[in-house]
Amino acid sequence: MDAPARTTDIQTQRLFEKTDVVLVPVLPSAIDIRAIGHFMGQLMLGSMLKHARVGLVANRVKENTIMFQNLERFLETLNIPLVTHLRDSQNYIRASDGGFGVFEMSPYQVDKDINQWRPLIEWIEEK
């Protein structure tokens, strides 16, 4: 299930009680770094982390940029795994426009994207 960015603490607690895995998306931007710091701080102070395994996913990443390096350095301080990063790719726009997912596209077009999804799938399937 997906939750809006401005979910209240009570709503977040209820969502966490219904799941075993929580993925938190974060963009490589100064605004997202501050927001994820605040959000994860709230989670760690409360009892929400008792119910679910939490992982981070960096979205729309342009590798080898200063902003992505800043994001990685910051996320290392959180003691929560950065499960994977997904590159900033037109393949997601093409898939969305066509009404399908990247896994349904020709492998030669999306090989890099699929390889970035593999760690996420494996992490979710861990018991």
| Contact status, residue 68 vs residue 27, Cβ threshold 8 Å | no
CATH number, position 24: 3.40.50.300
Specify the number of domains making up the chain.
Answer: 1
Q: What are the strands of the beta sheet with 82-87, ordered from one edge?
A: 21-26, 53-61, 82-87
Residue 101 lies inside a defined structural domain of this protein: yes
Q: Is residue 1 part of a domain?
A: no
Neighbours of 35 (CB within 10 A): 14
Q: In whole angstroms, what is the distance from residue 8 CA to residue 33 CA? A: 19
The answer as to whether 7 is a domain residue is no
Is residue 10 assigned to a domain?
no
pLDDT bucket at 11, cuts 50 / 70 / 90: confident
Its domain, for residue 121, covers 17-125
| Helix runs in the chain, H state only | 9-17, 30-45, 66-76, 90-98, 107-125
pLDDT tens-digit readout, 30-65: 999 998 888 888 777 666 666 678 899 999 999 999
- Judge whether 116 lies within some domain: yes
For residue 43, CA distances in Å to 46, 48, 81 come to: 5, 6, 15
pLDDT tens column, 91-119: 999 999 999 999 999 999 999 999 999 99
